[in-house]
Structure 1
Amino acid sequence: MAHVQRHPLAAQAAELLLHRIRGGEWQLGHKLPGETTLAAQLGVGRSTLREAIRELSGQGVLESRQGAGVFVTALDITEEWDTLLRRADIVAVIEARLAIEAECAALAAHRRTPADLRAMWRTLTARAEASASVADLVDADTAFHRTVVTAAHNDILTGMFDAFIPRSRRAMVDMLKIRPLPDERADHRAHELLLDAVRRRDAATAASASRIHLTSLKEALS
């Protein structure tokens, strides 16, 4: 029975530790006090403390390093992407895309390969021809933007962009059915300018083109 009863205590101890970390008691990368000290502070046994540390380690907040101690590796528990994005307002998603895609455009200008440029041209052409439905246009647009993101050659940024796609797609399809783009030609031209800046390895112009395009989308959605 003692083992069964320890679980709620460990959960409480984990919550207390997390509260202290959130409160700034230990900074990112800092080492926690020794096991005996910390267990006494929390009013639990060492086995319960170890279980609490295991729980927070599994959530990425702490890390036990053999022979060195326990270190703070995050200042809070990060929600799963899908949970976070389900709750996110589309404007928040566009703002996050702005942060990611403007940086990706700048990186792509430095790092793009001939194959990246070919993919960008191919998806831009497909985007120009996608007029069968709103969903087709949104998918073609997303495919183009993804080629810019992948041309940055940063797997983390690509993964973050991919996490936004389902939420962004639904919202864009819904919005464009109600409010079509006022000037499709100007919108397409904005994408051509982005590609051209990446082709010319002009990072500042590429980032600016991405930012201007997504800001106009955000304003249309607001």
Structure 2
Amino acid sequence: MFNKSILILCLVIFSILLITNINASSKFFYAEQWYVIFNEQIKRKPDNYKRNIFFLKNALKYPFGNPNYSLSKIETREEWNKYKLLFKMHVNLLLVKQHLYLGDLFDTRYAYFYKTPKKNAILENLNKATNLYKIAADYYTEALKYHKQLHKYKFTKIQSSGITNWEDEYYRIEMKELDYYNIIEKELIRIEKTKEFFKNKPNYY
């Protein structure tokens, strides 16, 4: 019954995608729909980070559908509460990744002297990268809020292989194996050093 519900949900969303080409946002009403659309988008155009972010932000903004059509088998109130918290934590972590990927497009990781003629454009792009990395840190802060709320549901089990990685993320954060603050801080420090390099160099070889 559960697998059939998931299949129906995916088929409905896929049909809408074919009709609208993912342009009519009014066609989607629930958080899970936006999440499924995001996953379809990742398969087709994984590097379209702005579009990925658009879908994920809507997944956070829109309400959840009926528990009967969730992405996991839900039988109790505790399972439902845990499912919603896991979903929001997971989506925020995805937004962290997407902003890091987008920021990397503007980043300059190697400061070569022969790039100095383009230093003004490089510095402008480094500022964009910095802003995107800081936004990523904000989403990580949000993810940690939901992670903290999940502590009370630590022993509540949800029966679904579809969200196993959500719970894996919870435990990785819990065990300090996943720490985006540390990752982002290192990136920001490196960017500041790169900016100083270009600021102190003339715009010629």
Q: TM-score, normalised by structure 2?
A: 0.27
Task: Answer with 1 or 2: which has the greater Rg.
Answer: 1
Q: Which has the higher contact order (CA 8 A, sep 6+)?
A: 2
